[in-house]
Structure 1
């Protein structure tokens, strides 16, 4: 029995739904708006369903359209993976690896790794996306990223992973701070200070929030910033303290002090459960495994 749609029609349908209109979809797909409208009309006629509510200035998915959206998204992902697999049987390698990296790692840990991979594979384009670890995890699950760095915990265990790094989270204070000469700082002492923290969704903030919850404490947030140089400047001027991965504290004006007891984070390079990795992506995973941070 013939299906009432083809992959092209489903791509048009998803584009219209994602862009919220026929005109925007036509612009993205570089075709006439009339062709988009006709494709959707034919799809609705074949399915004998109305997929979109047509409003005067916008459109929205009907309940039937929402159901098709879920299935169409999954079907096209599988079709794209199959197409890539067939191309690679002919020796064609995907030309891009999309990887998501939290800012702290992207600035202080990954540059030599990325440059080394690029030197070995100059034909592969690397696209690096900076975001919080939780957002990266969602982007991998949704297929927006091929690979990403995630925290090793119960949620990330639902993904394919390769251990990447175990690093200590330390208290960061200016050199003249009373904590600077200490061997360790207790959670009570840390949360007794004004803090400079990343926004929610970043592993830095999640670490602090978890530490507070485990000890029945709360954070006195003086500043929120995802910009590492700005955070360092605020700490240096004495307006608050923070916590970083140890390697991030690399200048003469700031001091790293361990927590009492020392706190460690485990981070992994992850990709979707059962997802197909191209040769380029597999090469990147293998390169990372062979060159520990």
Structure 2
């Protein structure tokens, strides 16, 4: 028995046809029938019971089918890992980044990583946390940076940045001179939020509801610098991480600590718990742990 026999049987059963299985596997129908016959002779038992144009699996055939899927998946992972061992410096990583992280934290980190692994190509996709998690699940992303909490049953992670949200207002705003502001005091304000693809959208709405009011949302955006510009133009207020607030122009923006409650903002690196991680992706995870001092699960 070799790995091709498992592929043949899996496809025959999946498509319920020797002919269709042969077409999918790019071999002739007589070839696939001959291979199955040879396997039956090798094992000394029938795998299929032929009933006219139809067939069904014997007990032996069912046993082979039961293990075929896991064995083929392991074989594919083995091939991928062996290829990675040979081609680490020709690998690639697809990283999902929220705009705030992409602009503030990662350019320097990526430069240091590529100084060490010059052959690895990095593709960065700027999206909100919702889209990043979807990309990790469907395999279009290898790793991502999102805001905690995460779905711990699906993703592994470690913390990168721990921060808190601050209130951002224009210099002429009534709260601009305050030392701190309670969240409940914002009940009558006009909010400028990240759009629904960002975890902060629902997080801020949820916090407002927890203190008794529904925020009046007048604008949504995917860019933190545009949100800050709208605040400076007196179109509303916003909440941004303190780390980001430090980069805003002081002549156009006033940052006020937000209390009762303090709203944490924690960035975490995440990757799908199940499934194969390329050697290049594992190198990135290890490198970022080294840079940020995190441990998986933290």
Same topology, TM > 0.5: yes
Alignment of 1:196-235 (within 5 A): 196-235=192-231
**Distance in 2 between residues matched to 1:5 and 1:104, nearest whole Å:** 49
- Deviation of the 1:88 alpha carbon: 3.3
1:77/1:202 Cα in 2 relative to 1: closer, same or farther (>3 Å)?
A: farther
| Aligned counterpart, 2:275 | 275
Map of 1:64 onto structure 2: none
| Structure 1 residues 161-188: Cα deviation after superposition (integer angstroms, max 9, x where no partner) | 1221111111111122222222222222
CA distance 1:218–1:75, change in 2 (3 Å): farther
Deviation at 1:143, TM superposition (A): 1.6
Aligned counterparts of 1:195 and 1:43: Cα–Cα separation in 2:
64
* Structure 2 residue aligned with 1:161: 157
Q: Residue 97 of structure 1 corresponds to which residue in structure 2?
A: 93
Which deviates the most, 96-105 or 86-95?
A: 86-95
Partner of 2:285: 285
Query: 1:255: which partner in 2?
Result: 254
User: 1:213 deviation in Å?
Assistant: 2.7
- For 2:27 and 2:213, the matched residues in 1 are separated by 60
Looking at structure 1, the residues matched to 171 and 73 of structure 2 have their Cα atoms a distance apart, in angstroms, of 52
Deviates more, 1:147-156 or 1:136-145: 147-156
Change (3 A) 1:106 1:122: same
The alpha carbon displacement at 1:157 in A equals 5.0
Between the aligned partners of 1:77 and 1:231, the Cα distance in structure 2 is 46
Aligned length: 247
Q: What is the SS of the residue equivalent to 2:292?
A: coil
Q: Does 1:110 align with 2:132?
A: no
Q: Is the 8 A contact 2:218 2:236 kept in 1?
A: yes
Alpha carbons of structure 1 residues 90 and 227: separation in structure 2 relative to 1, 3 Å: closer
Where in structure 2 are there 5+ consecutive unaligned residues?
16-21, 34-52, 55-67, 294-298
Taking structure 2 as the reference length, the TM-score comes to: 0.70
Tell me: CA distance 1:77–1:145, structure 2 relative to 1, closer, same or farther (3 Å).
farther
Is residue 188 from structure 1 mapped to residue 184 from structure 2 by the alignment? yes
In structure 2, what is the equivalent of residue 17 of structure 1? none
Is the 1:93–1:279 contact (alpha carbons within 8 Å) kept by the matching residues of 2? no
Cα RMSD (Å):
3.6
Which residue is 1:33 aligned to? none
Q: Secondary structure at the match of 2:181?
A: coil
* Corresponding residue of 1:264: 264
How far residue 202 of structure 1 moved from its aligned partner, in angstroms, is 0.2
Q: Distance in 1 between matches of 2:284 and 2:292?
A: 12
Instruction: String of CA shifts for 1:98-137, please: whole Å, max 9, x gaps.
Output: 1111111112222211222122222110111111112211
- Per-residue deviation, 1:77: 6.9
Q: 276-285 or 82-91: which moved more?
A: 82-91
Whose radius of gyration is greater, 1 or 2?
2
Greater shift in the superposed pair: 103-112 or 122-131: 103-112
